Amino acid sequence: MTNPRQLAFIALKEVHKGAYADVALDRVLQKFQLPDNDRRLMTELVYGSLRRQRTLDTLIDKLATKKAHQQPPELRTILHLGFYQLRYQEKIPVSAAVNTTVELAKQNGFSGLTGFVNGLLRQYLRLIENSSEPFKLPENPVERLGISHSFPDWIIEAWLEQLGFEETERLCAWMNQTPTIDLRVNILRSSLEEVESAFKSAGVLVRPIPYLPQGLRLISSTGPIQNLPGFREGWWTVQDSSAQLVSHLLDPQPGNVVIDVCAAPGGKTTHIAELMGDKGKIWACDKTASRLRKLKENAQRLHLECIEICTGDSRNLTQFNNIADCVLLDAPCSGLGTMHRHADARWRQTPSSVQELSQLQKELISHTANFIKAGGVLVYATCTLHPMENEEVISEFLAVNPHWQIESPGSDLVDIASPGWLKVWPHQRDMDGFFMVRLRKTKDSE
């Protein structure tokens, strides 16, 4: 089976049963060998249909007698695939989008409804002949942005409060783009110039990322990442530019003792090791052993030896008290800054899950602050843009820990808010949304 639309349908069925989108997609791609073009199409259809789910449901609600949530789940998925191609994929001919969707219905138990599927898609095409927008959007700004850009209302509300309407609309549009892939060159094994040259020879285009001495962004399609030059030799690893900023903010030095308390799968751990020249000790802690195995594989591929693995919940580890020069708390979070990469995150997270995560983050920072010697540094980072997981966590921590203070970093890349924390807004910086802050434990706390 090598039909990319049928395989996209199979992956989406798994997601709607509860699987994570990237896991479901990966499972299907590993099972069926697809040419690069079909692989890209399938990936785009899966992630795009998930991202645009609310808008696509609104189309079904507008055009069909039965609302989207009343349709058989698998038929609804087929309609999502059809409407996604017609509405968002200009390179796919209209006839191909309609005919392949009708064929999907026929092949997957809906042969009696092929006329309905065909009619619904053609009804949409007739509507957009007269107007680019087939349904009237509500005046209410939350619903308006939520429907047109396909986000739950509560996320739109959180952004509007911080950014206002125009900036929120720009952020929504950015989050619906196909994500770029950034690489971090391992300066202990290679150089930007060497990697760039090897890629150029292989016909792959990259460009340096401003302000990031190890950063390269892929600007052409590549096929499987592990087939690119230098991957097996450990010359580079995949890491978004925002995530690369975090380790620079930590600024670890050769010979330091560093504890990465939520380390797996290891992007930042290995970056810290590179910045330390692989000299010193990094304790990479995580409570999930399988994710730590991935970290170990990454460290071995990058030829890094100063990393020690520690399996366990950092809230229960006491052996590290007062031993660290620096601690990185890259806290578990809602991931609302990376929703372009994790297409299903916007539908998985809820206001109550954000509240639960905020509580976990407060517990983690409170416990892991004990790992640091007087005069040492803790960097708190998340890939979310929700104040409850960011500013509120830090403000509460500082209120009850007077011997800690924010250390404002010098940076031309990101706007530093008045208390000294950094918030990367993706639509302004063209990188994942991140929050990060550098905290110093003052000498007089002993």
Catalytically active residues are 383
- Kindly report the length of the chain: 446
Report how far residue 251's alpha carbon sits from residue 253's, in angstroms, rounded to the nearest whole number: 7
Phi, psi of 379 (to 5 degrees): -105, 125
Long-range Cβ contact pairs of 117-123 (< 8 A, separation 24 or more): 117/75, 117/78, 117/79, 117/82, 120/60, 120/63, 120/64, 120/79, 121/82, 121/83, 121/86, 121/97, 122/98, 123/63
- Taking residue 17's Cβ as centre, other Cβ atoms within 10 Å add up to 9
Q: Which has the closest alpha carbon to 345: 152, 118, 89? A: 152
Only one residue has tokens 């095409």, namely 125
The helix/strand/coil state of 283 is: strand
Rounded distance between C-alpha atoms, residue 223 and residue 438, angstroms = 38
Residues 6+ apart with CB under 8 A from 400: none
Contacts (Cβ under 8 Å, ≥6 apart) of 435: 337, 381, 382, 384, 385, 389, 390, 391, 421, 422, 423, 424
Please state at what angle helix 391-400 crosses helix 351-368, rounded to 10 degrees.
40
